[in-house]
Structures are given as C-alpha cells and as structure tokens.
C-alpha cells in the first residue's frame, strides 16, 4: 500500500509514517520512486508500539 493508504488504515498521519520509516521502525519497499508498505509490515509496526491504558471491561480486581 502507499504511504497515504498506510496512514489512513492505521489512523496515523503521513508524517508519522515517514518518521517511522526514517527511524527504521517501519519496513518499506521501493518500486521505482514509489514507497510501498505491506500490510504485514504495517501490522508488525503497530504491534510493536507500546500499550497504553486498560482495555475496556478488564478493570483490575485489586483496584476495587
């Protein structure tokens, strides 16, 4: 997919996608001048991001 498509699918901005590529955190491929990101590489990148907060409905029983 294109940078634009990856940004839309991940709900990230295009600038964030380019930054992740520059930092070596998101794999990409080149076809001529086009930058291509596979769904698998995007999923891997998103899975590598740190988790924040709690998942709805999974409150810690110790906090009650």
∠ Cα 53 49 59 (to 5°)? 20
- Whole-prediction pTM: 0.76
pLDDT in tens, 1-22: 999 999 999 999 999 999 999 9
Supply 10's token pair: 């991940």
φ/ψ of 44, rounded to 5, equals: -60, -45
pLDDT in tens, 17-50: 999 999 999 999 999 999 999 999 999 999 999 9
| Closest of 39, 33, 4 to residue 18, by C-alpha | 4
Look up tokens 């955190």; give the residue: 25
């Amino acid at each position: 997919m294109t940078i634009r498509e990856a940004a839309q699918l991940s709900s990230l901005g295009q600038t964030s996608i380019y930054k992740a590529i520059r930092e070596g955190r998101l794999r990409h491929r080149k076809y001529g001048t086009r930058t291509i990101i596979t769904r698998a590489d995007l999923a891997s990148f998103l899975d590598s991001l740190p988790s924040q907060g709690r998942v709805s409905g999974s409150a810690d029983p110790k906090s009650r």
